[in-house]
Copies of this chain bind each other. A is one copy, B any other.
Amino acid sequence: MIPDDEFIQTKNVPGPTKEEVRCLVMCKANISSQDTVVDVGCGSGGLTLESAQRALNVIAFDKNPEAIDLTRKNLEKHGLTSKVQLLEGDALQVLEGINSFDVILVGGSSGDLPLIIKQGYEKLKENGRIVITSILLETRVEAVNAIKNIGLVPDVIEVTIAKGKITERGTMMMGRNPITIISAVKV
């Protein structure tokens, strides 16, 4: 995985998604070198870059132009621009214009999460994967319900990571915000 501190960061864009969470999302997404990945709400580009290292191509979008700019800079820093199409805009509108894909990652939601999941699922190929990361109590439930409404049984994991900080006194465990990963495979 790309270390957290090798991402360029800015004040106004959240992320990048921490290394261990990116790792778990990538496992659930199970991206192959023939896959097209859609990254909804790319933020700092954490999941965009990891996807670009594994997929045939990636379409990433965010409604925040600063996020698009930051993701571009991170892609450039890691030499991954060629595989990624970056689009600024509203998730539902951008999804409208995209054909089918193998994986859809949903990070940023802006209140449209159920619709994004529904619309994203329709364009997902058979055996395609949908992976949602959620930091709000409310969006966890929205994601679970949206997956159930599609007729699938969601895989739900809540992940709490503490990272050891090596100090002179010993190994201090620093807590991170818990994150919930909801996923499903299209059958």
Contacts and interface: CB of A to CB of B under 8 A. Distances in A.
B157 A20 contact: yes
A11 interface: no
Nearest to A153: B166
Number of copies: 4
Contacts of A144: 137-138, 164, 166, 171
A135 B172 contact: yes
Nearest to A110: B169
A162 interface: yes
A98 interface: no
Interface of A: 1, 19-20, 23-24, 26-27, 30, 111, 135-141, 144, 148, 153-164, 166, 169-178, 180
